[in-house]
Amino acid sequence: MTEKQQTPSIHIPAGFVMNAAGHLVPEHQVREHDKLRDQVACDLVDEAVMLHNALASFKARALADIADLIRISGEKYGVTLGGEKGNVSIFTYDGQYKIERNYADRVTFTDEVLAAKELIDVCIRKWSADANPHLRVLVDRAFSAGRNGQIKTSDILGLLRLEIDDSDWKTAMVALKDAIQVNGKAVYIRVYKRVGSTGRYEPINLNIAVV
């Protein structure tokens, strides 16, 4: 089977492999299909780790190069491109490519979000039959936790954009705003290619889900 790095505290004798339950199994007792599956998984993991490291290296280099460009611009012209911590776009000389550095707030919600949910439920119960059923679905979706147990920020913030002339709803939106907590910033590097001779740019996706 595939050679794997062993955990320092675990010694696997020659001729044995460890299964998912942590038991040592003689290698000759492992089915050939299990060996094939193990080989495919390990090969893909090895390549994924290399890609992960390459992306991390690219991001670090891109941030450093953009920071250097901003510093040089400031020294030479007395201006900055978006500031040291601001959003900035840079283009190739022919305009074919664009690179963006974007900062975004990391938003979480305090326990006050539960009060906001209850206030919103009060509104929906009050409106009862007069309420559009799609609003109930929208609210339930906004407050439902994802696979990691976290509430999806964009869905919650979407409720704040609803214009509903109701005093209870407005109180609920105040509670929702009070529940918003910013915990630092995330920085993104995005790369784009111009579409033909137009002014429109398409992303060069670095997300495995969209390539």
Report the C-alpha gap between 28 and 205 in whole angstroms. 44
How many angstroms separate the Cα of 158 from the Cα of each of 9, 21, 139? 49, 44, 10
**Tell me, what's the pLDDT at 74?**
79
Domain assignment present for residue 39? The answer is: no
Domain assignment present for residue 105? The answer is: yes
Domain assignment present for residue 13? The answer is: no
User: Under a CB-based contact definition with an 8 Å cutoff, are residues 117 and 164 in contact?
Assistant: no
Reference 162, options 176, 179, 152, 182; nearest CA is 176
SS3 content of the chain, % helix, strand, coil (to 5): 45, 20, 30
Report the C-alpha gap between 4 and 16 in whole angstroms. 12
Report the C-alpha gap between 170 and 201 in whole angstroms. 39
Low-confidence ranges of the chain (pLDDT < 50): none
SS3 at position 94: coil
**Tell me, what's the pLDDT at 62?**
94
For the chain, how many structural domains are there in total?
1
Domain assignment present for residue 103? The answer is: yes
Range of the domain at 207: 85-211
Domain assignment present for residue 58? The answer is: no
Domain assignment present for residue 187? The answer is: yes
Tokens of 156: 């919650």
Domain assignment present for residue 188? The answer is: yes
**Tell me, what's the pLDDT at 3?**
64
Report the C-alpha gap between 163 and 206 in whole angstroms. 36
